[in-house]
Structures are given as C-alpha cells and as structure tokens.
Structure 1
Amino acid sequence: MSAPQFDPAVYATQLEEKKQRLIDLLAPFGAPEPQVFDSAREHYRLRAEFRLWREGEDRHYAMFAQGDKHTPILLEDFPIASRRINQLMPRLKAAWHGSKVLGFKLFQAEFLTTLADDALITLCYHRPLDEEWQAEAEKLAAELQVNIVGRSRGKRIVIGRDFVEEKLTVAGRVFTYRQPEGAFTQPNGEVNQKMLNWAYEALGERQDDLLELYCGNGNFTLPLATRVRKVLATEISKSSVYAALANLADNAVDNVTLVRLSAEELTEALNEVRPFRRLAGIDLKSYEFGSVFVDPPRAGMDPDTCELTRRFERILYISCNPETLAENIAQLSDTHEITRCAMFDQFPYTHHMESGVLLTRRKA
C-alpha cells in the first residue's frame, strides 16, 4: 500500500479539482452538475496494510511512496485510518516485540475495521504457523478484543471470525453486513453510506425488477432490493457470493436471486448464446427488468455488457474510474441521457474518486 499525502489544509482544493475533472469528462453528454459528497478529513479509512521494516532489533510499520519499494516511510500512527486502527497499532507492535512466537518472521500486518467498531487483524509470516503460535494469537485476540487471521505459505488459521460485521443506515433502516478478510470492501465507510443513500434515492420506488451486475458482498443489493419487486444479482468471486448470501439472510431480504456468473457470462445467457448450469431452475424470462445497476471494476464494462445495459429503461452506474465511465457513456449516449450525477470522495488526498450517474432512456 502506498502512503497518501495527508494534508487537510489542501482538502477543499483537491475536492474541487476532482469535481471539475468529472464535470469535464461528462460535459460531452450534457450531464447535470454533480452532487458532491465529501469525506471526513481524517480517520476515514477502515482498512490498512503495512509492511514491517526492521531496524536493529526493532520492527516498525512501514509504507512506501508510489514506485519506490526500497525507501520505507516508518509510521507510529496513521491519521487517515480509523480511530480503531490507530488504537490497535501500538498495542500490536508491543505484542510482536514482547513475544518471540508472534514476532518471529512476521512481515506484514493488515487491519480491517468497521463503523460498528468491529476489527480483524491479519498477520502474515515467512514461516509455518503451529499450535504455539495459535495459543499466543488467541491470548492477543482476547486482549485486543479483535479477530485474528494468521497466514503463512499454504496455511490460514482463524482466531474468532474471518470477517467483520458492519452496520450501515440507508433511508432510516439499518443493514448489517459481513465483510470477509481478504475480500473487497469499500474503504471509506461514511462515504459508502452516502453512496448507498444516493443510489437508493436515484433508483426510486419501482414496481418492476432490477438486474445487478458485480454485486460483491451485497453492499448495494440490500437497500436496492427494497425498492423493486425482485432482483437478479451476479458476482463471480466465491467469497463475495458467500458473504452476499449470508447478508441477504441476516437482513431477511428474500426477493433476491444471486448467481455466480461474471457480467460477460450473464450477457451471454440473456442473449441466449449458451446455457449455464448455474442458472438451472432460474427462469430469466419471468423477470420484468426496468433497471440495471452496475458497479464494475476500474476497467469499466466490456463492450458487450455495456450494450446489454442499453436494453433497460434506467441504468444506475457507480464507477471507481471516471475515464472508463465516460467511455461507457459514450457507447450509450445515443439511446440514454444522464439525468442525475454525483461524486463521492472515497479516497481523499489522491486523484481517485467514485462517481455515480443515472442514465434514462431518451424520449422518442
């Protein structure tokens, strides 16, 4: 993980620059001015990973500048990380210095926390983990009141749970989420909550069905499912699928069918290019899709998937890359127009941003 340039004094200027960049990218499509959702200036990041750097007999948390893996930036705290991470950092450091079992060949520490104040620490080793390590890790987990995952080549030991529990409020309802160790989660919890509320409002109350591509652990699925008759959601990652199924059950959301397919595979299925065993028992023709929700990776939607979304009256699109968002909109702009637009500052002090658009079919 590269070290961001932390300087709250320049935050407002950087936010305005990001807003203008999004405006410029979407200007060819007549987009309305984006609604801007800012971030807390510090303690906003719910996950962090650090390499450990040895100096003499001591090891320190370390990060590196972009492109430089040889000059460590040694850290005692990390202001952009959650308060829980900052509380845990010195206590974990004291533990690896105080225990040869915990400290021996430890090379990386990863923290995953939530707005609900749950925490998981992953400890990565260049040696096999044994029963002695597990006994020490269990004591540490109890002392810190965290879950711990130990990783070494070919082995993974879980102390407590291998996920954290999050609570996010959307339109007054609290949704609970399991967020697995090692799986993708939104790093900025407060801004994620703002994204969920924006998407919930943008979709509106519908009497038809929703197709969701790239659903992950169900981050958006849970609240959006309450706005439509039923949802067909897809995700390719096994760990995310398992988490999403658990999250649907935990929140008593029963109008979602989740299938482990990539967006490209579902496009083939809907186009009747070929059948998929994972769709056995699912009648695709029974859905009355009025909207599609997409939250693709940085590469955006591939051309075939983008073409698929053209079929829908409404395309609700969350993007982590405004350049590929603009490329996808260019493909769709002859049939759809941007009616709502937003920018979410998930990543302060970097050039990265999340954005959202609602595209609706042009009137004939």
Structure 2
Amino acid sequence: MGPKSFFQTNTYQGEALYKVTREFAGLTGSEVVYDLYCGTGSIGIFVSRQAKKVIGIELIKEAIDDAIINAEQNNVTNATFYAGDVIDIVDDAFFAKHGAPDVIITDPPRAGMHEKLVEKLLEVGAPKIVYVSCNPATQARDLALLDAMYSVEKVQPVDMFPHTHHIENVVLLKKDNF
C-alpha cells in the first residue's frame, strides 16, 4: 500500500467488518455492486466472489492504483476501479455504462457523504445500501436524509480498537416499497 492509501490497520477486526458488510449486502452472484469511497478496494474485492460485478470509486488515485494491484493479486476479474470524486463520477452516464446498482456499499470519510451524493443515491434508488462509517454522527445525519426512500433494516457496530471509542458502524438500508 502506498502512503496515500487508507487501509484498516487492525486487520483482524477489518476482516470482521468486511464479513458484516458482505452479510448485509446479501449477495447471490447476480448483483452489480457499487463500492463508493472504495480506498484500496478491500471491501469490493472481499465481496466480489459473491457479485456479478463490482465498480469501485475513490478520490485518491494512488489508492485506486493499489486497488487494481490488489484485485490482480487476488485473481479478481469482475471488479473495476475509477479514480475521481464520487459526486462527479456517479452520474446518469456512468450508471448507463456500468449498469444500475443492485447494492451500493458506501464507506465515506469521517465527514460522511456529500449531500449531492445522497440526492443521487435517492434518485438512483438501488434496492440496498450498505453504509459503513467510522463516524456514527455523520452517518446518522446521512441516514436521516436517506430516510426519504430507505428504511434501516440492520445495524452492527464493529469494535476496531478495543479499549477506545473507535468503532465502525455498518447499516443495511432497504428501499421502501412505495
């Protein structure tokens, strides 16, 4: 991993976090999965064997370079990665080219998701969103915005650094039937 790439330093608990994320995604092998804020691609690569296709997007180009290498080293051929700002990349043309998402996994930085991205997620209306967060406060803010179309189905915190207040919180959102 390069110096600009983020990776969970507690790899044991990182695997536990990824297992919860994969379980919440409920993949069957036929889904198109978008991995937003994908970093080095670790979550997308972890779930790729249960997905039809994974599309990862990350702002930091060096992290995307690492994601491509990670996919190659793990013999993952159904994942592609794109460098750029998520709110600039995920537009109608991008979805038309890569397919509508069946599941969106989002793992934003501490600041949470940009409001424009939340609006785009509501517009796209994927059946499931798995929201991974290291900041429950900004996650709660984003969940309140997503509440216009989604219901919280499951919540699972993962203790990343025992004896500290640092957790990752995984939330499964399902699209409401209108």
TM over 0.5: yes
Which residues in structure 2 correspond to 1:96-115 (within 5 Å)?
Answer: none
Shift of residue 352 of structure 1?
2.5
Shift of residue 286 of structure 1?
4.6
Q: CA RMSD in A?
A: 1.7
State yes or no: 1:228 paired with 2:51: yes
Q: Is the 1:208–1:288 Cα contact (8 Å) retained in structure 2?
A: no
Shift of residue 332 of structure 1?
0.9
Shift of residue 250 of structure 1?
0.7
State yes or no: 1:205 paired with 2:19: no
Shift of residue 204 of structure 1?
1.6
Shift of residue 241 of structure 1?
1.0
Q: Higher relative CO (CA 8 A, sep ≥ 6), structure 1 or 2? A: 2
Instruction: Identify, as 1 or 2, the structure richer in strand.
Output: 1
**Cα deviations by residue, 1:128-172 (Å, 9 ceiling, x for unpaired):** xxxxxxxxxxxxxxxxxxxxxxxxxxxxxxxxxxxxxxxxxxxxx
SS of residue paired to 1:248:
helix
In the alignment, which residue of structure 2 is the partner of 1:303? 115
Shift of residue 205 of structure 1?
2.3
Runs of 4+ with >6 A deviation: none
In the alignment, which residue of structure 2 is the partner of 1:316? 130
State yes or no: 1:326 paired with 2:140: yes
Which residues in structure 2 correspond to 1:52-131 (within 5 Å)?
Answer: none
State yes or no: 1:347 paired with 2:161: yes
Counterpart-to-counterpart distance in 2, 1:185 and 1:242: 14
Per the normalisation by structure 1, the TM-score is 0.46
- State the aligned residue count: 175
Structure number with larger C-alpha Rg: 1
Q: Is the 2:32–2:100 Cα contact (8 Å) retained in structure 1?
A: yes
Q: 1:257 aligns with which of 51, 59, 80?
A: 80
Q: Is the 2:40–2:63 Cα contact (8 Å) retained in structure 1?
A: yes
Q: Is the 1:320–1:353 Cα contact (8 Å) retained in structure 2?
A: yes
Per the normalisation by structure 2, the TM-score is 0.90
SS of residue paired to 2:144:
helix
SS of residue paired to 1:305:
helix
State yes or no: 1:240 paired with 2:58: no
Q: Is the 1:338–1:357 Cα contact (8 Å) retained in structure 2?
A: yes
SS of residue paired to 2:75:
coil
**Cα deviations by residue, 1:224-253 (Å, 9 ceiling, x for unpaired):** 112221122111212211111001111111
Instruction: Could you tell me which runs of 5 or more consecutive residues in structure 2 were left unpaired when the two chains were aligned.
Output: none
Shift of residue 322 of structure 1?
0.1
Counterpart-to-counterpart distance in 1, 2:177 and 2:55: 27
In the alignment, which residue of structure 2 is the partner of 1:183? 5
State yes or no: 1:193 paired with 2:15: yes
State yes or no: 1:363 paired with 2:163: no
Counterpart-to-counterpart distance in 1, 2:81 and 2:152: 28
Q: Is the 1:203–1:227 Cα contact (8 Å) retained in structure 2?
A: no
SS of residue paired to 1:342:
strand
Q: Is the 2:161–2:167 Cα contact (8 Å) retained in structure 1?
A: yes
Identity %: 28
Instruction: Identify, as 1 or 2, the structure richer in helix.
Output: 2
